[in-house]
Amino acid sequence: MDNDSGAETRLHAKAQAVYALLKQHYGVPVFSGCADPMEELIATILSANTNDVNSGRAFDQLQTAFGGDWDAVRTAPLAAIQAAIRPAGMYNQKAPAIVATLERVKATRGDYDLRFLAALPVDEAMAFLTSLPGVGHKTASIVLLFCFNRPAFPVDTHIQRISQRLGISRRRAAPDKIKAIWEGLMAPETFYPLHIDLIQHGRRTCQAQTPRCELCPLQALCDHYQRVGEWAVTGEG
């Protein structure tokens, strides 16, 4: 076995072990789908750089203000959309992004029904979504994974941080690189539960400022822990 394939084999084994331990620790989330992929898309645009509570409130206010009518949102004065989504922050950027996305979907599809994505090859579905204004790989992957359980692995800040600390990726790897690594290492049917469990892990244990390494089931697999965590937790250098 040459060095490259040896490293690849070890990385593959590490990824499988991470998944197995996360499942033991946080359980196996069951895919439940989404109510409406267009709603999921708009909700995900609103969720950029804010928390779930604030983006949820903004989405609810948008639905209330426009009665769930995407035509009404598309043709509304920008100020009315900005007012509705204010709790999500960055409303000056998010409101025009939402309008531009609705305009593009309406122009290309004639309506706002994104269920056709379920039947497209995943790279074509991804290409359609990322062609929309302000929709990047993360947002597109969230819609494909959460609505259709399609094999697209979204990488948010939790997953980026954990992947870098574990050594699944390099320490400064960008989200799109990390996405490609996980997609290459894991079977497609694991993407949904793995994604959910990694988010749980980021929220509860591998937190940004102070990871709770002393409680972490992934210690033995974690490059960060081997590098700095052990002595930081035990006081032994």
| Shorter beta-carbon distance to ligand SF4: residue 47 or 205 | 205
User: Could you give the CA distance from residue 229 to residue 213 in angstroms, rounded to a whole number?
Assistant: 7
- Our CB check for ligand SF4 shows the closer of 12 and 204 to be 204
In the complex, the smallest distance separating the C-beta of residue 219 from ligand SF4, rounded to whole angstroms, is 5
**Least gap, CB of 146 to ligand SF4 (angstroms):** 24
> Is 137 or 165 the residue whose CB approaches ligand SF4 more closely?
165
- Pick the closer one to ligand SF4 by CB: 154 or 229: 229
Task: List residues binding ligand SF4 (CB under 6 A).
Answer: 162, 165-166, 205-206, 211-213, 216, 218-219, 222, 224-225, 229
Closest distance between ligand SF4 and the C-beta of residue 163, in Å?
Answer: 10
Q: Among residues 17, 20, 89, which one has the least CA distance to residue 48?
A: 89
Find the shortest distance in angstroms from Cβ 10 to ligand SF4: 17
The phi-psi region of residue 146 (left if phi > 0; otherwise alpha if psi is between -120 and 50; otherwise beta) is: alpha
Contact by Cβ (8 Å): 228, 209: no
Cβ closer to ligand SF4: 131 or 207? 207
The residue length of the chain stands at 237
Instruction: Look at residue 50 and give its three-state secondary structure.
Output: coil
| SS3 category, 36 | coil
* 175 vs 211, beta carbon nearer ligand SF4: 211
- Give the integer Cα–Cα distance in Å for 98 and 66: 13
Q: How far is the CB of 221 from ligand SF4 (least distance, A)?
A: 8
Residue 63: count of CB within 10 angstroms of its CB = 16
HEC-encoded secondary structure of 90-135: CHHHHHHHHHHHHHHHHHHHCCCCCHHHHHCCHHHHHHHHHCCCCC
Tell the smallest beta-carbon distance from residue 145 to ligand SF4 (Å): 22
